[in-house]
Structure 1
Amino acid sequence: MKAVLMTAAGNPEVLQLQEVTKPTPGNTELLVRLVAAGINPIDTKLRKRGTFYPENMPAILGCDGAGVVEAVGADVKQFRPGDEVYFCYGGLGAHQGNYAEYTTVDERFVARKPKSVSFAEAAAVPLVLITAWEALYERGRLEPGDKTLIHAGAGGVGHVAIQLAKLKGADVATTVSSQAKANFVTQLGADKVIFYKQTDFVQATLDWTNGEGVDLAFDTIGGDVLEKSFPAVRVYGDVVTILEPSANTTWKVARNKNLRIGLELMLTPMLLGNVEGLQHHGEILQQCANWIDDGKLKIHVSQTFPLAAAAQAHELLETGSVTGKIVLLIDDN
């Protein structure tokens, strides 16, 4: 089969289309003919610095996949050949990723693809959706009527987080850099749009909440955004970040306000081999597939590339200006 191999850590040019052996499913696994693979910032980070398992080089990147079940293991009970599925599994260096024509994945970790969207849209969903779900609903304990500040609302995680927050019954403020992105997040349901380049987002958030601060701030950017968000959160409120806090972070404001700090890394179950967590991811995707088919949740694919152009897709993502998601179309070569 064809697959894009990461031959070494480095620039996008280390991603090379090559022929590799087609995998064989284990007893509880599905063999999936991949139709599309989502691209995420973790892919570009691993490409630049190396995977979590450097002894397993060369590696196939790509955590997000969508495709058609081609064969099933002897003990598979829930799926059969011909089923359309989507999932977030592989791509960290231990198990093969989804920049390939085929992959294998345990049936417990996948969900049936939403019927109302394309494979490209389905492949764009899993990682960002699970991240936003866990950050808002589980780490941040968002409740109906809460006010939340979501940074970078037009981004991959952000544009899904806005919709999940609205589905929970929360009010949403979000930061953007342009009028086009403001229009985009407004269509998704954002109640307050903050142009962070022209406006102090903390003051804008305090004005929006009558000086009290939001119940939950969600940092999808990293750097100093985490620390800068502390004054925008109410006393005893929550802050969740998907990035590792900087060693230079000053926690005084967070401590004085008794903020609850949540760290969200949806890759944890994959990294630790936690089957219960991976199974939970499958359950999240199944619930969200229902919402997608009901028209309550939308995913925005900004651009697609053929599998052979994975390097160009990485280059685009690394510009930092992408709205929504980028997807590889596996058979568009």
Structure 2
Amino acid sequence: MKAIVMRAPGKPDVLSLQEVPEPKIEKPTEILVKLKAAGINPIDTKLRQRGTFYPDQMPAILGCDGAGIVEAVGSEVREFKPGDEVYYCAGGLGKSGTGNYAQFAVVDESLVARKPRSLSFAEAAAAPLVLITAWESLYDRARLEAGQKVLIHAGAGGVGHVAIGLAKLKGAQVCTTVGSPDKERLVRHFGADEPILYKQTDFVQAVLNWTNGEGVDIAFDTVGGKTFFDSCSAVRVYGDLVTILEPDPALGNLKVARNRNLRISLELMLTPALMGLESAQKHQTEILKQCAAWIDEGKLKIHLSQTFPLEEAAEAHRLLETGSMTGKLALVIDRSKRLTII
């Protein structure tokens, strides 16, 4: 089969299209998926730059997110049959025999959900990792409740735009930081109540103005760096601050957070996969099932901004690394023409 292979860490050029053996079902609960699309996430570019979690198992096929059609099933598979359309977040961290920048993938059925019927394969492939990340951050870590006020950083980004949708589904009010008027219009479309143009406005002061000086109940940091520490002043006393990035102590301290008695949570949706936590992985699959229902009911949106053919994975990485993306990118398998979504 054709796959994008990474033989050593480095710049996007280390990704190349090659012929590799097709993966085989080895366990009775596994399914073989003929991939139609693969999502591209920042974790992919980080692993490409610094090396995978399994450096002794190189070369590697990247890509945590996949969507496709079930080609074959193991003897104990009960939920799926050949021809079913599925999506999932599994593999792509460097372990041999996994990864979705390819024509086929083998995945345990416990990690797979039926694809939202209303989405294309490319849209579905763009969804799993960001849906799980936003759900776990807002619902599991911060315990979001109806009526609360939430600050979501980078609301036009991959995680941010679905976080807005999930927060609104819970009945929350949402303010979000964006970098341009175009992104302001986009996040309003996703349901944001109060976009903040952070390049023109101090977001902390804007949040305090929006909440009558109290601060939000929850701040969700998808940016990291100094933004994480600055966000402490925008959260109410006894509120929650969740970040998907590791705080850098060289860029600030937690004095404000301590004085305000904030509950700080670190979110890494890859933990269940890296630690082999089966119950947590099943919880993530349930997240995908529920989100698929909401998507098909028109209650949740996925914004796919651009697709690339499989052979242009390196170019897709370059675009993602510019940091100016809205929504998500995806690789489309077995199609030579690039598509830009308006």
Task: Tell me whether the two structures share a fold, i.e. TM-score over 0.5.
Answer: yes
Deviation at 1:173, TM superposition (A): 0.2
Aligned to 1:332: 335
Residue 64 of structure 1 pairs with residue 65 of structure 2 = yes
| Residue identity matched to 1:311 | A
Q: Which of 152, 167, 170 is 2:169 aligned to?
A: 167
Distance between the aligned counterparts of 1:280 and 1:99, measured in 2?
Answer: 25
TM-superposed CA distance for 1:61, in Å, is: 0.1
* Offset at residue 138 of structure 1 (A): 0.5
1:137 is aligned to 2:142: no
Equivalent AA in structure 1 for residue 259 of structure 2 = N
Task: Give the counterpart letter for 1:73 in structure 2.
Answer: G
Who is 2:313 aligned against? 310
Mean CA deviation greater in 91-100 or 117-126: 91-100
Normalised TM-score (structure 1): 0.99
Taking the aligned partners of 1:241 and 1:319, their CA distance within structure 2 comes to 21
> Structure 2 length normalisation: TM-score?
0.97
> Which structure 1 residue ranges, 5 or more long, are not aligned?
none
Aligned residue type for 1:269? P
Q: Which runs of 4+ in 1 moved over 2 A?
A: none
Q: Tell me the SS of whatever aligns to 1:266.
A: coil
The residue that corresponds to 1:220 in the other structure is 222
In the other structure, the counterpart of 1:291 is 294
Instruction: Describe the SS at the equivalent of 2:249.
Output: coil
Show the 5 A alignment for 1:197-212.
197-212=199-214
Q: Of the candidates 272, 276, 279, which is equivalent to residue 279 of structure 2? A: 276
Match of 1:120 among 114, 119, 122: 122
Matched, 1:34 2:32: no
Deviation of 1:12 (Å): 0.3
AA partner of residue 255 (structure 1): R
Deviation at 1:199, TM superposition (A): 0.3
> 1-side partners of 2:14 and 2:29: how far apart?
33
Distance 2:235 2:285 in 1: 32
In terms of mean alpha carbon deviation, does 108-117 or 90-99 score higher?
A: 90-99
CA distance in 1, matches of 2:202, 2:234: 10
Amino acid at match of 2:13: E
The number of equivalent residue pairs is 333
Shift of 1:266: 0.2
Q: CA RMSD in A?
A: 0.6
2:282 maps to amino acid: Q
The AA in structure 2 aligned to 1:280 is H
Q: Aligned partner of 1:205: which letter?
A: V
Give 3-state SS (helix, strand or coil) of 1:36's partner: strand
**Residue 97 of structure 1 aligns to a residue in which SS?**
coil
Superposition deviation, residue 87 in structure 1:
0.2
User: What is the CA distance between 1:273 and its match in structure 2?
Assistant: 1.1
CA drift at 1:331 = 1.3
Identity of paired residues, percent?
69
Amino acid corresponding to residue 280 of structure 2 in structure 1: G
Amino acid at match of 1:118: S
Of 175, 178, 185, 1:176 maps to 178
Give, as a single letter, the amino acid of the residue that structure 2 aligns with 1:298. Answer: K
Equivalent of 1:323 in 300, 318, 326: 326
How far apart in 2 are the matches of 1:170 and 1:135? Answer: 14
**CA distance in structure 2 between the partners assigned to 1:308 and 1:296 by the alignment:** 34
Distance in 2 between the 1:180 and 1:129 partners? 23
Please list, as runs of the form range in 1=range in 2, the aligned pairs for 1:244-263 lying within 5 A after superposition: 244-248=246-250, 249-263=252-266
Q: Which amino acid aligns with 1:133?
A: W
Q: Supply the distance in 2 between the matched residues of 1:247 and 1:32 (Cα, whole angstroms).
A: 43
Once the two structures are TM-superposed, the CA of residue 220 in structure 1 deviates from its matched residue by: 0.1
Determine the C-alpha separation between the residues in 1 that align with 2:188 and 2:260: 31
Deviation at 1:247, TM superposition (A): 2.5
Offset at residue 276 of structure 1 (A): 1.1
Q: Could you tell me how far apart the structure 1 residues matched to 2:226 and 2:143 are?
A: 23
Residue equivalent to 1:23: 23
AA aligned opposite 1:179: P
CA distance in 1, matches of 2:128, 2:63: 11
